[in-house]
Amino acid sequence: MWATSFDIPNGARQVLNEQMINEISSYLPIVLALRRWQLSYCTKLHGISFGSFYRLVSEKGPSILVVRDSDGVIFGAFISESIRNSTSYYGTGEMFVFTYRMERSDCEVSDILSPIYKNTDYTNIKHSTCICRMVYCDDLSDQSNTNSLKSGDKSFLNKLSEKNLADNCSKSEKVPNNVNEESNISQIKVFPWSGKNCFYIYSDSNHIAVGGGGSYALAIDADFLRGWSSPCVTFDSPCLSRNEDFIISAFQVWTLADDSM
């Protein structure tokens, strides 16, 4: 297992623990695997402005996009080059998506705790394994257009953005918000590039979409409040969340600092 260094700034919410960061690092290209993780963007610290988002992550090189939803599910993607405001798809075949989503849709907190925590009031403990969940996907069925997001796709995402949040906002968290102690349980599932298309990532002033060719592996709205996920041919990935749409509890982008330079 990699031993990756990382720093969590004061005021930032801890989403990933050391075990998770080491697990994700083990799937990175070898030249990046031992670099220090640096939190470049965090909604809790930097707000929910797409302008601030691009200003803080542009020209920072490869990064790891991490989401935790209101159900406590954690998921994300490795982006192989600097995230940028673009009118076309970009990225490389080194990209992958990942999730810590449990297989059981009705899993309880006791199912993800190590044995010593069983039968314990989890509101009074802090543990490091959160379940993961992802984003809704849209239709990019015309694979001949590999350079831009079709107007119909944007319209579909915009419609989803207009849905009422009331039902989702009423959901209670199934796991604690903070992740501070390490667990022996690992539920990470990683889905590398399938080679079937080159719809790696599209990010403009309204959305971030990872994957394509019929549906997105991960899509996030500009307000950083909601996202969607569906099975995606780009990574041969399933829906990374328990449900297709979700409310975002925390959104972070970690860049990889080369301390040898």
CB within 8 Å of 101: residues ≥ 6 apart: 73, 75, 131, 132, 133, 134, 187, 189, 240, 241, 242
Q: Is the pLDDT of residue 261 over 70?
A: no
Confidence tier at 11 by pLDDT (50, 70, 90): low
Tally the domains of the chain.
1
If you average pLDDT over residues 188-200, what whole number do you get? 98
| Residue bearing the bigger pLDDT, 242 or 225 | 225
Assess if residue 210 is contained within a domain: yes
- Residue 1 falls within a domain, yes or no? no
Confidence at residue 185, expressed as pLDDT on a 0 to 100 scale: 61
Asked if 184 and 130 touch (Cβ cutoff 8 Å), the reply is no
Instruction: Kindly state the greatest CA–CA separation across the chain.
Output: 54
CA dihedral angle for residue 60, residue 140, residue 239, residue 99, rounded to 10 degrees: -10
Residue 66's contacts (CB-CB under 8 Å, 6 or more residues apart) are 15, 16, 74, 75, 76, 250, 251, 252, 253, 254
Residues 6+ apart with CB under 8 A from 169: 70, 247
pLDDT tens-digit readout, 58-94: 999 999 999 999 888 999 999 999 999 999 999 999 9
Domain with 208, as residue range(s), is: 6-257
- pLDDT band for 175, please (50, 70, 90 cuts): very low
pLDDT value of position 157 = 54
Residue 146's pLDDT is what? 44
